[in-house]
Amino acid sequence: MTHRADADTGDHTEDVGDADDARGPGKPDRRAGSVEAGSASGRPSGLSGAEVAERVARGEVNDVPVRSSRSLTEIVRANVLTRFNAIIGLLWIVMLAVAPFQDSLFGYVILANTGIGIFQEWRAKKTLDSLAVVSEAKPTVRRDGRAAEVSASELVLGDLVEIGPGDKIPVDGTVTEADGLEIDESLLTGEADPVLKRPGEAVMSGSFVVAGGGAFTATKVGREAYAARLAEEASRFTLVASELRSGISTILKYVTWMMVPTAIGLVLSQLIGENNDFKGAVARTVGGIVPMVPEGLVLLTSVAFAIGVIRLGRQQCLVQELPAIEGLARVDTVCLDKTGTLTEGGMDVTEVRPLGGYDTAELGRVLGALGASDPRPNASLQAVVDAYPDTSGWTLEAALPFSSARKYSGAAFTDHGGWLLGAPDVLLGRSDPALADTEELNRQGLRVLLLARAPRGVALDDPGIGAGAEPAALVVVEQRLRPDAAATLRYFEDQNVAAKVISGDNAVSVGAVAAKLGLPGADRTVDARELPEEPEALARAIEEHTVFGRVTPQQKRNMVAALQSHGHNVAMTGDGVNDVLALKDADIGVSMGSGAEATRAVAQIVLLNNSFSTLPSVVAEGRRVIGNITRVATLFLVKTVYSVLLAILVVCSQVEYPFLPRHLTLLSTLTIGVPAFFLALAPNKERARPHFVRRVMRYAIPCGVIAGAATFVAYLVARAYYAGTGALAAETSVATLTLFLISMWVLAIVARPYTWWRVLLVAAMGLGFLLVLTVPWLQDFFALRLVGATMPWTGVGIAAAASLLLELLWRWAGRRFPA
């Protein structure tokens, strides 16, 4: 007979040996439903409503603010109070005092950039905050004898907090009730083994439950709790270091070093060396300093990240650490937990095969009693509960909750002895004939549990209890594959990202599931119990194989570390408490929204819609950000390099600086500012590559040198041609035309590969400059007027030669330093 277990689809499913003790938010908790009756039998009823109100009035509440993003004040401060804004702001004030309005345009551009940055990050903050509310775990407290979920910030001193597998301890406390309660404190103390907690012992916030259940009384809340000082760092949105951000910081540091001495020399040459009026000298000095500042680079980086957060937020993807978008794009290995990632919530009991002559009806009573013995059943046991409601009326004497380390659970009943339910290959000897049936079922991708009678006189928690257990039945459970899993695995394969399935379930069963999804290498599964412990040998074994079964939580952590030791960027996905350690140590941790509270706390990315297919979108956003910022960084830094070179050449030649601020504002807007904004937000599927600074500078420095040298040559030639005519605007116009044409070629190179909109973008920028040269009032506004035909065409010729050299350099660098 086939039984169906219509488990809650929001349920978190885990392997028999894969820590199926984790529960997702919204999962039914039969323990909570029975609290009132339990109170009548002597269990503590918790605080009363009046006691809670009294403690709130005294300020004894867990009021530590844990935000998912920066406050609006911090956003404004971060975008306004920058080193380069201070430099530009000072120069803007000077220009407002001594020069025409159009020479102060650069200041208004900075104001606009800052406003855009603030607005976009504020939009991203709203998205993150709304998603964080959805993702927030709510602890269960017992008040007035009833269990209810409250926000973590509403806990008060003395609250009785109920806990079970997968729950994170929200505040410090003392255990009041314990039923096989095991706490993992490794994230706080480094102790690898779970700690068995008994009534009266302390629990620390930031640790999490791996097995059993119980309740504790809050002894420290708010800023007094351990989490407020240490553990909550794992669950806050933080702008942690990333290669992209650190690379840009390195570039800006170099720019500052170049700017200071160059700017000092330019000031002295223009104010002292030239026979010019003071206001004109100041204007040209400022015109030489302003373009050295890559003022839009940081802005566009922040905007690109913020837009990525907003786009992913629309897909119910919570990015808890901003650089995680970038990090996942750099990943070359993804470690997948089978249950909850490749399979979805809900299981069905499809068959119960009696062993040793046991009666089917009796087995049903045993299974029903076992299900009722656990107040918070895992996904496998929930399937048993739904298929076999408890009608036995048996009296429970002792219970052993499921543990990832044991891979089985159990219960003892008055007059009916002890029973175990767990992994057959753990509870049975290697020669047991029942293992043959188990292997056959596993090859079909089915999960198999062994129901066994425990030996008499042996305690349930005795490590050797499985040796004398008597097999009673095989319970066959069917898992549901995620419909999007196969397509997602194919995406990673196409992108040359290695996928490794790491599960606590039977290796053959895991391999069968992976094979159904078309994962290469699924036919060569590895039992993790046979893996070497030596890190180097372990790393080689993981690189050579794809599917691993019977993996313990500590082994998952070791496997991640072994891959990292071989230079791999590793992402780990999971939703059970057995995944927490590996998620924490991986380069990028990805948790399902329905996963255990502990996994969501340590993961950088939480898929709130529980859809594995969202991962390609995260990868795509990361690639868009990295690839596009690399493009626009080249544009900004070419400008910085040619500005510094022009200033040095002017100082050495003791001539007037070629440009007024208005000229460079026009050039920057048409060849960098507007194009960079569109290029930074455009789709980009290029695989992320390392060495951001080196890749940008190897193009920016030679391109900037060529642009600066060619422009200065054109300026000197025009200066000599127009000597004695007093036509300073004419020689400046020739230099501006030359620099614009060279910058347009740099833009045309950076915009490759061409699409219709990129061609249109480059053409529109060229048309904009043409309008300035041909419309009289724009000529006057920007002080640009080409005089005669000889010098303008000379400038075009110099620009063409420089552009040809740029093209040859670009192609040579592409071959010499392949991407």
**Residues designated catalytic:** 337
Query: What values do phi and psi take at 675, rounded to 5?
Result: -60, -40
Tokens representing residue 241 in the block: 């270091």
Smallest Cα–Cα separation from 75: which of 314, 311, 302? 302
Residue 316 contacts residue 617 (beta carbons within 8 Å): no
Rounded Cα–Cα distance for residues 479 and 491 (Å) = 23
Tokens representing residue 221 in the block: 């809340």
Q: Computed from CA positions of residues 434, 436, 437, 443, in that sequence, does the dihedral angle turn out positive or negative? A: positive
Tokens representing residue 182 in the block: 């095991």
Distance of CA 601 to the CA centre of its chain: 12
Rounded Cα–Cα distance for residues 571 and 587 (Å) = 6
Largest separation between any pair of C-alpha atoms in the chain: 117
Query: What values do phi and psi take at 517, rounded to 5?
Result: -90, 0
Pairing of strands 172-184, 208-220: antiparallel
Residue written as token pair 């950039």: 113
Burial group, residue 661, by CB count within 10 angstroms (0-12, 13-18, 19+): buried
Residue 349 contacts residue 3 (beta carbons within 8 Å): yes
What residues pair up with 606 in beta bridges, in sequence order? 318, 591
Q: Which helix (H) or strand (E) holds 212?
A: strand 208-220
Smallest Cα–Cα separation from 161: which of 201, 226, 205, 218? 218
Amino acid identity at 617: S
State the DSSP string of 435-461. HHHHHHHHHTT-EEEEEEEPPTT--TT
Residue 598 contacts residue 167 (beta carbons within 8 Å): yes
Residue 64 contacts residue 225 (beta carbons within 8 Å): yes
Residue 448 contacts residue 429 (beta carbons within 8 Å): no
Amino acid identity at 120: Q
Residue 478 contacts residue 348 (beta carbons within 8 Å): yes
Q: Which helix (H) or strand (E) holds 498?
A: strand 498-502
Smallest Cα–Cα separation from 341: which of 227, 171, 479? 479
Rounded Cα–Cα distance for residues 338 and 340 (Å) = 6
Residue 258 contacts residue 697 (beta carbons within 8 Å): no
